[in-house]
Chain A
Amino acid sequence: MRRHTIGIIILAGLFLTAGLLQAGAPTEKRLLLKNGHILPVTGPGFDGDILIVGTKIAKLGPGLAAEPGTEVIDLKGQWVMPGIIDSHSHIALEGSVNEMGDLITAEVDCLDILNPEDINIYYALTGGVTTIHTMHGSANPIGGKGIVLKLKWGASAADMVFAGAPRTIKWALGENPKQSNSYGIGKPRYPRSRMGVEASIRVEFEAAKDYMKAWQTYDQKVKAAQGKKDAVLPLPPRKDYRLEAIADILRGKYWIRCHAYQAEEMEAIIRLCKEYGVKLACFEHGLEGYRITNELAANHVAVSTFADFWAYKWEAYNTMPQSAALMARRGVLVGLNSDDAERMRRLFFDAAKTVRFGGLTETEALKTITINPAIILGVDRWTGSLEAGKDADIAVFSRHPLDPYTVCQMTIVDGKVYFDRAKYLDERAKAEEAKKKSAEAPKLKDKKD
């Protein structure tokens, strides 16, 4: 009897598992975007459809069939591009993005202050942005760690973190670390010159090398003592979180994102990074990058820059809106960034400027806000273009995204619609209607105390 019961339980269990397994595949959500002008960015554009299964793009092409259970959105000839990627921003962070308290602050981490409820995440979605890199500020030669996020508005901070994206560390050169524009605020500190900025990075690297050596020696001594009977274990060196982070840079754990404007300081830091064998992924802003395109291209250092934001300080004065295009045409990997919650919503418009200023083709222009920043961030395996197998990160526009009158209509992240303008307009109309009604309704008299 007992055996019988166990048998039944096992059998039932098997059936249940099989049922669940079978149900697993079809319950993965299928979404078909039909009748769009598709701009995959990495390949030629076409008129047709995109099938999304779960979080991924399953298929692209004309006339894709919708299996039963597939949700279909008719795009009616609207334009479809990969979700826009902003590789330099400071949104979704709670509080100050600059640790001003010290010169080197490599131990601090933006991951610790993520704020998934920042309204700017939603605003970014209204401009077609799906992925951002949110970063520490530029007050320190070596600042804190940055993080790549997917803008899943409404999800938790942990769920927004882009799985698999390399971690980054912010460096900064020039006016901000030397505090040129904040004289009189607080106590002056070293460095006050661009020479001092570079020196402070070297000093820290040397300290980190000593620190690593100390730990290595300790580890060796511990190892040597193992198994020996009367061995006296050595005392471990003092744990230093800051030097630990610097050591991690030397170990290649972080991609360096270096805020810099002027050409000569960029060149100097390229040499420094070569000397220490660390990965300098990208210059942030790099408004004079057009002067050293040979050097940037030869050393595979990208530039994440503005389309035409300039002249707000001295180091941002010696530039031109042709800079991004000129760098791109001369072989530098160039991405356009916002550095600003408001600008983030119009990166597609900024991309259009590179067509006139510097003569990029429309596809090259679109790359500066999609696949290029994806490569800069090391996430191009998953996002930055419309290709089968990639994450379904998609932006839908009313017109060609470089048309001056285009409006973002829909933004999809990992296969889920996070912004839908039609729905927004509907809700706005309802809210206005409700407000009108409440204004017309007889008012209750104020209670007087």
Chain B
Amino acid sequence: MKKIIVFVILAVALAVMLFAAPNGGDEPRVILIKNATIFPIVGDKIDQGQLLIQDGKIAALGKSVTAPEGALVIDAAGLSVYPGIIDAFSHYGLSEIGAIGSTVDMREMGKENPELHASWAINPGSVHFGTGRVNGTTSALVAPVGGTFPGIAALVRMDGWTVPEMTIKDSAASLINFPMTPRSSGAESVSQQQESKVDVTSKLVDKIRDTLKEARRYLQLKKAAAADPKLTAPAVNEKYEALAPVLDGTLPVIISVEKDKDIELAIKFTQEEKLKAIFRGCEQGYKVADKIKKAGIPVIIDSLYTGPTDPEDGYDAPFRNPGELVKAGVTICFSSGDDPSAGKDIVYHAARAVAFGLDHEEALKALTINTARVLGIDNRLGSLEVGKDADLFITSGDPLDPKSDVKHMFIAGRHIDMKNYWETLYEKYKARPIR
């Protein structure tokens, strides 16, 4: 009997351990958020509204949604509800402390590693997931950075026990660092360009084309061998295999590019190679905005903690760029940039862009629905609509205001504990007696 009791206790304890979500959150259940100002992003703002979460999804929202029996009710009077922010380019879980190599996994040796998956190295225990959530980020594209073909980025939730649990899309996008003047994050260096009269950029682009050509040839040989038993299939090449969905246009490829001339070159490259491209960076994008628009290529805005590409552009060029791109009709997405320790700053970049001309509503879209659409996940994320994943947050004010405070967050319907690494330190040290 005693043994049975001990067994039951152990079993219950185990069950509790298994079902307690990471970061102290709860398992999905029925939750009603009431009296909130709801900003669905797609659809009109709802004053004094309710939003019902059931089975990890948004079950209902409107002005007269009532709580089913047993639902957890959150009174959000005076607060606002927004869909979770999607960070369109980050390194969450791939870098903990920049200066300590053993904690950094963003960059592989060599230039051509299209077969690397970020998802193989993401650390779900990184403190930056917790600190990155404070301004409303609920999911992020996690990308490697090194070389010309850095690998494959994954779209993950900002919460979960394991990588598979966090993963929304293991293969969300492939990456190409387009040749350009040096930037901090692994772009191909063409600094010699200024000195030599040789068009280094074009030569490096030719090199990328050669790789794609070889991959196409490999895939053709493989296809031919499959159809004809007399032919020998080529030895398996992981790199070319990884490029297959890029070449047939099923996997988008994020092309990092900065200067106007390089952007024009990248558009030409993208069209000739028939790639489904997303540009990243485009700091001088405003100079060729109509061309980007015409090519139908969306742009991931990089960190705005930067000076102008060229001093002649004026001190505010990086800040007005997002607004100018949107005015020209280009779809933009915000991202936090190079370091996950500054992941929360994604909304600060958006605020800076609004200060210099970007429409506020467009900024919110560029943090949510635009990114969902660009990554092909808008059936689940990016807005508050019935049937979508319950990825959302409740905040004291404008999400772009550094003074606003995110009070609650739900990821796939799980109520996330907002207490993070910082909060733990804060609670401890503010309790020290003052002498």
* Residue positions of A touching B, CB distance < 8 A: 119, 122-123, 126, 175, 180-181, 290-291, 293-294, 298, 308-314, 316-322, 326, 330-331, 341-343, 345-346, 349, 352-353, 355-358, 402-407, 424, 428
Contacts and interface: CB of A to CB of B under 8 A. Distances in A.
B425 A126 contact: no
Contacts of B342: 308-309
A122 B315 contact: yes
B355 A404 contact: yes
A326 B426 contact: yes
B421 A320 contact: yes
Contacts of A122: 315
Contacts of A404: 348, 351, 354-355, 398, 400-403
**Listed residue (A122, A319, A322, A330) with the most chain B CB atoms within 10 angstroms of its CB:** A322
Given A126-B315, A311-B96, A356 B354 contact: no
A222 B109 CA distance: 68
B307 interface: yes
Contact of A355 (B316, B341, B403): B403
B305 interface: yes
29 contacts: A119-B311, A122-B315, A123-B307, A126-B315, A126-B316, A181-B99, A291-B432, A294-B432, A308-B342, A311-B97, A311-B341, A312-B99, A313-B98, A314-B100, A320-B422, A320-B423, A320-B425, A321-B422, A322-B425, A345-B315, A346-B305, A349-B402, A356-B403, A356-B405, A357-B422, A402-B403, A405-B354, A406-B355, A407-B355
A379 B150 CA distance: 50
Nearest to A340: B305
B339 A312 contact: yes
A27 B303 CA distance: 48
B128 interface: yes
B237 interface: no
Interface string B352-385: 1011100000000000000000000000000000
A312 B432 contact: no
B197 interface: no
B425 to A, nearest CB: 5
A138 to B, nearest CB: 14
Contacts of B96: 311
Contacts of A356: 402-405
Given A290-B429, A326-B426, A406-B355, A342 B307 contact: yes
B341 A310 contact: yes
Contact of A341 (B97, B307, B341, B402): B307
B356 A407 contact: yes
Contact of B351 (A123, A180, A321, A405): A405
B425 A293 contact: no
A312 B355 contact: no
B434 A331 contact: yes
Given A313-B98, A313-B100, A345-B315, 6 more contacts: A311-B128, A311-B341, A314-B100, A341-B307, A346-B352, A349-B402
Contacts of A330: 434
B425 A318 contact: yes
B426 A320 contact: yes
Given A331-B434, A405-B354, A314 B99 contact: yes
B306 interface: yes
Contact of A311 (B98, B307, B348, B351): B98
In order of increasing CB-CB distance, the 5 nearest A-B pairs are A320-B422, A311-B341, A313-B99, A404-B351, A405-B355
B430 interface: yes
Contacts of A318: 425
Given A326-B429, A353-B402, A312 B341 contact: yes
Contacts of B314: 424, 428
A315 B186 CA distance: 25
B230 interface: no
A57 B315 CA distance: 29
A123 B355 contact: no
Contacts of A126: 315-316
Nearest to B313: A428
Contacts of B398: 404
Contacts of A314: 97, 99-100
A314 B97 CA distance: 7
Nearest to B424: A320
